[in-house]
Amino acid sequence: MVDNTRGIVAMLASVVVFIFNDALIKLAAENMPSVQAIGMRGLFATLWCALAMLATGDWRRISYAVHPQVMLRSGLEAAAAIIYLIALFQIPFAIATAVNLSMPLILTVLAVLVLKEDVRWRRWTAVGVGFVGVLLVIQPRPGDINGWTWVALTGTCLSACRDVVARHLPPAVPTLVVSFSTAITVAIAGCIWALFEGWQPIDARTWGYLVSSSLLLAMGYQFLVIALRSGGEISVMAPFRYSSILWALGIGYVVWGEAPNTLALCGIAVIVGSGLYILHRERVSRQG
């Protein structure tokens, strides 16, 4: 029987640091172009990963950064980020977020088709119900859906493929090297794009947002790769990405004064219930 506990904990940790990273990069992007912010954040994240490799000794295996599977994952990460960002500029944030949070559904499908996981109807139902909860929170308007929505979905699908590739990384590849490769690839892609859009000066406060965001991004890369390499079932871990919407609501209320309405509160209850049910089924499976 597969124990998914380590993978679930790491996935939840990645969700927390990623959502705080998103909040900080959103604050930074209020004073500079979004693509420039992403590129600079990637550069600092690369620095954090490099320092961590020096501290742990993993720098001795830096040659794995150019391993074909590591490079494939890094390329998918950069492509997914850029494609999703392009779409985000063209469609409402609620629609883009709803599309992005369809990833647990996509990952569950890939877990069955590619990883040959045995996903029963209860797990399918929990994943689907969790996504309904996300829609209740975000409340996207169908009239805002257009061709760019499919572009956003393409980026989300690439992110899902990135996670599946992570499951097949050679055990000898240090997780820090994977994070380093990912950070530097996204940094290069973001900075090159920013050069075409035009570079703007950065004030001290924005530098603080960027540096803090980059540290959280590097940590998020680590937690995510740890979760995906834990040996746990992706179809079990993936739905816990929905918890990001709960953190997003909390941050939105504290930082921007955005209070959820009654329908959103119902959605929160649905998401929490879905996650608790998956944990319950995981405990029952282990006991069985």
Q: Are 119 and 235 in contact (CB under 8 A)?
A: yes
The C-alpha atoms of residue 211 and residue 205 are separated, in whole angstroms, by 10
Q: What kind and span of H or E run contains 164?
A: helix 147-167
Token couple for 226: 């740890």
Q: What kind and span of H or E run contains 179?
A: helix 175-197
Report the chain's C-alpha Rg in angstroms: 19
Percentage of the chain exceeding pLDDT 90: 32
Token couple for 74: 């890094």
pLDDT at 83: 85
Q: With H, G, I as helix, E, B as strand and everything else as coil, classify residue 198.
A: coil
Token couple for 66: 């150019």
Q: With H, G, I as helix, E, B as strand and everything else as coil, classify residue 25.
A: helix
In order along its 288 residues, the chain shows pLDDT tens digits of 566 888 999 999 998 998 888 888 888 888 888 788 889 999 999 999 999 999 999 999 999 999 999 999 999 988 888 888 778 767 776 677 777 888 888 888 888 888 888 888 888 888 888 898 888 887 877 777 778 888 888 988 999 999 899 888 998 999 999 999 999 999 998 899 888 888 889 999 999 999 999 999 999 999 999 998 988 888 888 888 888 878 877 887 887 787 778 888 888 888 888 878 887 776 776 665
Q: Are 254 and 51 in contact (CB under 8 A)?
A: no
The C-alpha atoms of residue 238 and residue 227 are separated, in whole angstroms, by 10
pLDDT at 61: 94
Q: Are 10 and 229 in contact (CB under 8 A)?
A: no
* Rounded (10°) CA dihedral 170, 171, 175, 177: -50
- pLDDT tens across 126-177, in order? 888 889 888 888 787 777 777 888 888 898 899 999 989 988 899 899 999 9
pLDDT at 195: 86
pTM of the model: 0.83
pLDDT at 2: 67
